[in-house]
Amino acid sequence: MIEIGGNGRLWLLSGRRSSYALHLTDEDALLHLHWGPRLTVPDAEALAAEPLPAERGFESPLDGREEYPVEGGPRFVRPALSVRAAGVRGTEWRFQESAVSGDELRLRFHDPLHHLDITLHYRMRDDGDVIERWTTLTHTGTPDDAPLELLRADSAAWSLPAGERHRLSHLYGRWAAESRLARTDLTPGEKVIGSRRGHTSHQHLPWIAIDDGTATEESGEVHSCALAWSGSWRIAVQRLADGTVQTVGGAGHDEAGLLLLAPGESFTTPVFAGLWTQRGFGAASRGWHAWQLAHVIPGAHQERPVLYNSWEATEFEVSEEQQRSLARLAAGLGVELFVVDDGWFGSRTSDRAGLGDWTPNPDRFPQGLKPLADEVHGLGMRFGIWVEPEMVNADSDLYRAHPDWVQHHPGRTRTEFRNQLVLNLARPDVRAYLWERLDTLLSSAPIDYVKWDFNRSFTDPGWPGDPYPQRLGIEHVRGLYDLLGRLRAAHPGVAFESCSGGGGRIDLGILGLTDQVWTSDNTDPLDRLAIQHGFSQLHPARVMAAWVTDSPNVMGNQRTSGLGFRFVSAMAGVLGIGGDLTKWSEAELTEARDWVALYKRIRPVVQHGEQYRLRPPGGGGLSAVQYVRGEETVVLAWLHAQSYGEPQPPLRLRGLDPDSAYEDLATGTVHRGAVLSHHGLRTGLRGDLDAAVFHLRRTEQVG
Ligand code: GLA
């Protein structure tokens, strides 16, 4: 809902439980007023009437209060916008008009010297508390005017009122150890997270949360924001001298220049979304999850199938017969989607060759993929394949034909990682090639699923011959989005997974075009709990692919763990199996079948329920996650290690009706809702690496 006050110069956006307010001063400064509990227009008008802090030497009253701090004039904060034209930097803008259409507010400003229109967009939907913000920049000049260089064009700035203490939560990591949660106090100055790698990165996810140091999982005020962009990015959080905090974020990692806008051209930034709650980090996550399920992830109401992926079992030693054997074993377990990973195409018998040549390897699949796909379908499963379209090996037909299609600087080394180079998707000819190859591939066999990988970062993002080669950073991502969008439209039955050596490209941008993500190449079930804990801060279980692999964990830390622990860990998201089933014993296959059957029973609750993190992993003890959907609730609990004599704490469940009874569907035990909520569920876990699933259903009112 959008309300207007203050003689048409104040806007109040309200969602389910929160409001966001801003106003224009008489001098056309656009100031932030409120981001918190719901307000009325008179409340916001009263706020707007409060005087700005008194002028203090060497400080600007605007700093920390502007909705979109531009470069230049009376400001010293990090600008959201930095524009250069004909040697002149900075922006002086005047308000032009506001417009409301549905739940979107648009505020248009104009800089006459630069012929630049700046439109700030806000959208807050009635069904939640996420505010989507983005900015459109348009060169309104005539063909004779100089182009505008967007040195920096952030999506939005978020302002928090002065406080004695601000604590920042963010997600960091590395390959095979993504999305670790860090929580640290902000001191005066700037904290910058981001990626200069050309993709979202394993190192940081574009999400932050800020509280006053007292919020817990279930209580306290939390402001958080997340950027919907899959290329290089930056979020800068600044705590100013007066205790206010301002956060700017957007595409690109520095101010070296994103794009040139010719007269008539526009750039629309990615969305930088924000969410406020006063019910703790858990409610913040549930708010983000609900918004993604309702408005970001395509077809999110559908359940994701249990998949089998052959990568850890076979690596590059792929053959049709071996895939058929694995498929038969997988089908016997109740798997619903069978995915052939790397090694099926071109001359791809190792990571040294073949990327770029997207036709089946004639020795391995002499009749193409269709016979295998048909067999997989005959076994009652869907069929999927792995691709890595943005990459090329130097040893490939594609590179031999088009060495100029890769990102490179003239006269400089073409850096290889994993023996591969990055194609320049900003080039229309590269996109046309990939579109033709992938469209043909998806038409050549009944393929239902594509794991879209991206296994190295940008290192030499040059584009010889282009007048403004650094636009590649933005245009590569736009090219990727365009390609994915076209493929989805042409093949609506195909689901896509975003992978980048595990979790190197997970963000709200790619999730608008994919059905799930590969969370991490680390499939160790214990390591995975920490990764999943961080992941759940922003993203829902419905997109979090997790596989059960072999023990010891051959591709990772070699840890030995029981099949039950491995399954319960992977059941916290979209369950998959990635072990070498030909080596599993009959007993293991039977046990696995039971776990898959149990997962299918709890799947609607896990994938679409509200998630409560009951106890975080780490510390060596008990951790647990609960999901609630309608009458049903599921608890997954893991015990890392038990010290002798140390009791396991009961798990106090959330989101239950204290006046109802809940039946454990496995044992028939009936629990009272009040007891589960206030005293807890005893897990009975013991020893090392133990785990359990509790599936409860509300049965009756208790007297
Ligand atoms: C990446 C992925 C893996 C696998 C390999 C194949 O590392 O994350 O799951 O697909 O590539 O080369």
512-522 pLDDT per residue, tens: 999 999 999 99
441-493 pLDDT per residue, tens: 999 999 999 999 999 999 999 999 999 999 999 999 999 999 999 999 999 99
Catalytic positions: 453, 521
* Alpha carbon distance 31, 66 (integer Å): 5
Please check whether residue 386 is in contact with residue 341, taking contact to mean a CB–CB distance below 8 angstroms: yes
* Alpha carbon distance 568, 341 (integer Å): 24
Nearest CA to ligand 1 atom 7: 501
Cis peptide before 616 (omega within 30 of 0): no
189-204 pLDDT per residue, tens: 999 999 999 999 999 9
Q: Which residue has the tokens 């636009």?
A: 471
Nearest partner of 224 among 243, 245, 199, judged by Cα: 245
More confident of the two residues 55 and 136: 136
| Phi and psi, residue 674, nearest 5° | -65, -40
Pairing verdict, β 420-422 and 81-85: unpaired
How high is the mean pLDDT of the chain?
97
pLDDT beyond 90 at 55: no
Gap from CA of 457 to ligand 1 centroid (Å)? 14
Nearest CA to ligand 1 atom 1: 501
Q: Give residue 703's pLDDT.
A: 63
pLDDT beyond 80 at 702: no
Gap from CA of 502 to ligand 1 centroid (Å)? 7
More confident of the two residues 366 and 647: 366
147-183 pLDDT per residue, tens: 999 999 999 999 999 999 999 999 999 999 999 999 9
Q: Give residue 646's pLDDT.
A: 86
Q: Give residue 649's pLDDT.
A: 94
pLDDT beyond 80 at 437: yes
258-309 pLDDT per residue, tens: 999 999 999 999 999 999 999 999 999 999 999 999 999 999 999 999 999 9
Q: Residue 123's pLDDT band (boundaries 50, 70, 90)?
A: very high
Gap from CA of 508 to ligand 1 centroid (Å)? 21
Which H or E element spans position 104? Answer: strand 104-111
Q: Give residue 647's pLDDT.
A: 86
Q: Give residue 700's pLDDT.
A: 76
Nearest CA to ligand 1 atom 8: 501
Sign of the dihedral defined by the CA atoms of residues 181, 182, 186, 192, in that order: negative
8-state DSSP, 43? H
563-584 pLDDT per residue, tens: 999 999 999 999 999 999 999 9
Residue of 178, 202, 342, 547 to test ligand 1 pocket, by largest number of atoms within 8 Å of CB? 342
Q: Give residue 79's pLDDT.
A: 98
Please check whether residue 95 is in contact with residue 109, taking contact to mean a CB–CB distance below 8 angstroms: yes
Nearest CA to ligand 1 atom 3: 501
Q: Give residue 54's pLDDT.
A: 84
Percentage of the chain surpassing pLDDT 90? 97
Gap from CA of 453 to ligand 1 centroid (Å)? 7
Ligand 1: residues with CB < 6 A are 311, 341-342, 386, 453, 455, 499, 501-502, 518, 521
Distance of CA 574 to the CA centre of its chain: 15
Overall pTM surpassing 0.95 (yes/no): yes
Query: For the residues 85-100, what does the mean pLDDT come to?
Result: 97
Q: Give residue 619's pLDDT.
A: 86
